[in-house]
């Protein structure tokens, strides 16, 4: 789909945003609830999908409930009318949104959402993936076609206002392999956030253009510390011209990480995002080449099958900030995972509106901590000083 077609598809969103502002809506969901009704607007966007040329899902139903514990057949569900559609999630990155549905809704606080997907039938692939350079393959989505994908949400619908929210689908973390079977499973990682009209934009150098096809992704993070984990609030990949847009993002202060295969990470610290403004990174981001790389393999074992675990590769900068540099999902059958990481020191610059001055943070060179997460439990290994080539395999057990 061409950019002009994507922009045209996003036009209904602009009209609804204008209406929301006219009604005094704040970021989609602010304000107090009460008697009467408001309007719920839902859109979808995506983070990059690592190693795939397409990730297709067919959405057939969407509903919300004020009870966080309601089962699929319990009372209280309100359907959001949508037109069933097959969506390639990778068409909706870099700030592009596709509207899912809009419905009048009783004012109140909604804490659960269910997303229903169509079932693959015969040769008709309602849900599928296309591995980079490969053939289209079915994407298995058992829970989504039975009870629906259950999402814990925090949606406040105020009387006489539009609550405008976005489903941010992280395809990179949501699609996992299943051993040597050649199958792919959907274990959805979806954040539901207000549709803030704010974010961060910029451009990367020609050497790392092309998004995940060039092994490049941009992460906007709330950095962690020695006692807290970093939080990736938004991720994307640059387009074929090197441009990127991280939106919607809540106002706040973040660190931006650019990672690309064969290059050191580039980090811009203390990027301030203001309400209804997009912060521009003026300097073209050009992380230096890393002469050597480390391969870090590992496995996750679990009493629960299929295995459901995500592993984060993190580095600690000299000032103490902990940042995620890459993430991977464990194979759902074997638990195997692997990272290829640069040994060169990350280059770091503090954000300013003009030209950025980067310098290598030698204390972080080749040093990584790996955090595995499964079922709400975290385990860590490191910090480890990696060496060129293959390193000793890690083992996490849940």
Euclidean distance between CA atoms 110 and 307, whole angstroms: 30
Answer yes or no: are the C-beta atoms of 346 and 263 closer than 8 Å: no
**What are the chain's domains?**
3-194 (no CATH), 199-397 (2.60.40.1120)
Summarize the confidence of residues 318-340 as an average pLDDT. 96
Structure-token pair, residue 232? 């990736």
Q: Is 51 helix (H, G, I), strand (E, B) or coil?
A: coil
What is the structure's pLDDT at 31? 37
Which residue, among 314, 152, 325, has the nearest Cα to 229 in the 3D structure?
314
Across the range 259-279, mean pLDDT stands at 97
pLDDT-above-90 percentage for the chain: 70
Q: For the chain, what is the mean pLDDT?
A: 88
Torsion of CA 195, 200, 206, 208, to 10 degrees: -70
Tell me how far apart the alpha carbons of residues 5 and 366 are, in angstroms, rounded to a whole number: 43
Write down the pLDDT at residue 210: 67
**Bridge-based pairing state of the strands 231-236 and 175-178:** unpaired
Q: 3-state class of 164 per DSSP?
A: strand
DSSP 89: G
User: Could you give the CA distance from residue 162 to residue 105 in angstroms, rounded to a whole number?
Assistant: 10
Q: pLDDT by residue (tens digit) across 52-80?
A: 889 999 999 999 999 999 998 899 999 99
Q: How far apart are CA 42 and CA 130, in angstroms?
A: 27
Beta bridge partners of 348: 267, 359
pLDDT surpassing 70 at residue 373: yes
pTM for the model stands at 0.84
CA separation for the pair 128, 89 (Å, rounded): 11
139 contacts 175 by C-beta, under 8 angstroms: yes
Question: Residue 385 in contact with residue 294, Cβ under 8 Å?
Answer: no
List the Cα angle 152/171/138 in 5-degree steps: 110
Q: Which of 365, 370, 391 is nearest to 381 (CA)?
A: 370
Q: Is the pLDDT of residue 8 over 60?
A: no
Q: Is the pLDDT of residue 251 over 60?
A: yes
3-class SS of residue 362: helix
pLDDT of residue 142: 67
Q: State yes or no: pLDDT of 272 exceeds 60.
A: yes
| pLDDT score at 143 | 61
pLDDT at 6: 39
Q: Which two tokens stand for residue 227?
A: 């006692």
| Mean pLDDT, residues 354-366 taken together | 97
- Please name which of 289, 266, 285, 265 lies closest in space to residue 203, comparing C-alpha atoms: 285
């Amino acid at each position: 789909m061409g950019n002009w077609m994507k922009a045209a598809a996003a036009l209904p969103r602009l009209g609804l945003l204008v209406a929301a502002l006219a009604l005094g809506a704040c970021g989609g969901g602010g304000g107090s609830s009460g008697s009467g009704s408001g309007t719920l607007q839902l859109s979808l966007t995506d983070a990059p999908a690592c190693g795939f040329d397409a990730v297709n899902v067919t959405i057939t139903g969407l509903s919300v409930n004020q009870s966080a514990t309601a089962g699929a057949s319990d009372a209280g569900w309100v359907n959001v009318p949508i037109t069933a559609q097959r969506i390639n999630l990778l068409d909706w990155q870099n700030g592009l949104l596709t509207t899912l549905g809009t419905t009048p809704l009783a004012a109140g606080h909604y804490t659960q959402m269910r997303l229903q997907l169509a079932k693959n039938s015969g040769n008709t692939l309602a849900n599928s993936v296309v591995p980079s350079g490969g053939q289209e393959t079915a994407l298995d989505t058992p829970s989504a076609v039975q009870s629906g994908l259950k999402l814990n949400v925090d949606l406040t619908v105020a009387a006489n206002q539009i609550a405008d929210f976005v489903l941010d689908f992280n395809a990179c973390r949501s699609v996992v392999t299943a051993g040597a079977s050649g199958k792919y499973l959907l274990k959805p990682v979806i954040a539901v956030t207000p549709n803030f009209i704010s974010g961060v934009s910029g451009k990367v150098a020609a050497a790392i253009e092309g998004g995940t096809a060039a092994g490049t992704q941009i992460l906007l993070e709330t950095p962690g510390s020695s006692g807290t984990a970093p939080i990736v609030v938004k991720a994307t990949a640059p387009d074929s011209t090197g441009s990127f847009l991280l939106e919607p993002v809540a106002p706040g202060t973040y660190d931006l990480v650019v990672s690309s295969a064969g290059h050191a990470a580039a980090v811009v610290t203390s990027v301030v995002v203001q309400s209804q403004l997009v912060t521009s990174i003026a300097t073209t981001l050009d992380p230096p080449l890393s002469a050597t790389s480390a391969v870090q393999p590992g496995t996750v074992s679990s009493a629960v099958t299929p295995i459901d675990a995500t592993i984060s590769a993190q580095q600690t900068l000299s000032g103490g900030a902990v940042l995620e540099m890459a993430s991977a999902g464990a194979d759902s059958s074997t638990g195997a995972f692997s990272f290829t990481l640069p040994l060169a020191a990350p280059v770091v610059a503090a954000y300013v509106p003009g030209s950025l001055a980067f310098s290598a943070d030698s204390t972080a060179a080749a040093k990584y901590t790996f955090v595995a997460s499964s079922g709400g439990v975290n385990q860590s290994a490191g910090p480890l000083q990696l060496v060129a080539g293959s390193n000793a395999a890690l083992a996490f057990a849940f």
